[in-house]
Each structure stands twice: as structure tokens, then as C-alpha cells.
Structure 1
């Protein structure tokens, strides 16, 4: 499994460098991201611009990695996904994902959610 990691102050940008995410690779993807110390306390952006195809297990892996961040009270966004995979992912998990066309929009979305969380904590 090939990917690059770019760690920023509050965000980890993970660029998957695979063209296919299938049943064979999906477990490795979930395990690799779960073992990343860089994600501790940081929001996640999945840059999937290289991904051309994914089967149901691959879509589930993307969703699992995404939801793991929310389970940790953090944010996640998916960027660069082609239109076919965007449609498949939103059909499989309707209304559950922040899917945006560009990395820049993903950063904005994640930072806005992070800011909203901070405001909610300040109000309590």
C-alpha cells in the first residue's frame, strides 16, 4: 500500500497512491491508518485523486477510516475522488461524508468543523 503523509498543525493529509482499492487492499488501508501515530489528536484529509476504482470493500474501508476520526471527536474529509467513486460512496453512505473536489476545500471544511467544536466547548 503506497501513500504519502503530510502532517500539519491540526491536520494529517494522507495521499493514497494506488489506482485500485479492493478487498485485498482495504484491510491493509484500514490497518495502516489505524496504526498511524501522526493521527493522534489531528483531523484527517484523505486525498484520493489517484484512486480510479474501488469495490464495496474499498468503499467500506474509506468510510471506516473516515468514521474512525469522528469516533475520536475529530474531523475528516475526502478530496480528489473521481465522479464515479463519489457517486458510489455517497450512495453507499448517504449524507455521512465530507466529499469535496480539492484538497484546499477539504482543509477549509475540516478546519471549520474544528472551529465549531472549539466554540461548542467554550459555550459549555
Structure 2
């Protein structure tokens, strides 16, 4: 298994175990995430604390995956991104489009705030 998966009450934390988040691993991450979308707990936090490098295709796959979550009214937060990975993503001009927090705890806070926001917005739709 290339990932550690930890299911919480409102979200699932997926932590890649490899030092490089390759395109193949992002495809596997995407499949795990899609499985989460089909479960009761649809929000995902991706903890990149073990990842030292990310190629361009994997970075774009990560952004596409995040966008698909938000299109389905679910949260997708990336946390504990190492400086080397952040530099790569910034060079590709993707960083500003990603929902990134420094710590996993802050990622949890984002997920919970977005859940509350969605509940409040659903009240306005009725």
C-alpha cells in the first residue's frame, strides 16, 4: 500500500508514503478519493508530509482532483506540504489555486468550516 488512510468523522486523511508523488501515485490517489466520494464521508485531506518531490503531471492531477471535489460540494484540502514540493507547485503557477494548509489540524478546520458553509448555503436554496 502506497498510502496511509485514516477515516475521521467528517473526512478521510490520505497520506502518501512514498517520497515522490508520481503520476501513477496521483492516479491511485484519485481512485481512493473517488471511492471516498461514494462513501458517507466525502471530504478528503491529503497530507504530503512524506513527499519530497512532485512532477508536473502529478501536480496538475492533484489540482484537477481538488476541483472535482469542489464541483461535487465536497472538501479537498492539502496539508503539510514540504518546501520542495511547494516550490515546484509555485513554479507551475498552481499553488494559488490549491487549498493548502501548513498543518493537518488546520486542514480539519477548513473542512469543518466548509461543511458549515455548505449547510448554511443549502438553507438559502430552499
TM-score (norm 2): 0.83
Gaps of 5+ in 2: none
Q: Where does structure 1 lack aligned partners over 5 or more consecutive residues?
A: none
User: CA RMSD for the aligned pairs?
Assistant: 2.1
Q: Structure 1 length as normaliser, TM-score?
A: 0.84
Tell me, yes or no, if the aligned pair for 2:37 and 2:43 is still in contact at 8 Å. no
Match of 1:47 in 2: 47
Task: State the shift of 1:85 in Å.
Answer: 1.4
Distance 1:69 1:37 in 2: 8
Shift of 1:39: 5.0
Shift in alpha-carbon separation, 1:13–1:95, aligned structure 2, 3 A? same
Structure 2 contact 54–88 (Cα < 8 Å) conserved: no
Partner of 2:121: 120
| TM superposition shift of 1:110 | 1.3
After alignment, is 40-49 or 109-118 more displaced? 40-49
Residue correspondence of structure 1 range 21-100 to structure 2 within 5 A: 21-36=21-36, 39-90=39-90, 91-100=92-101
Cα distance change of structure 1 residues 94 and 103 upon mapping to structure 2, 3 Å threshold: closer
Provide the rounded CA distance (Å) in 2 between the counterparts of 1:74 and 1:51. 24
Alignment partners' CA distance in 2, 1:74 and 1:109: 11
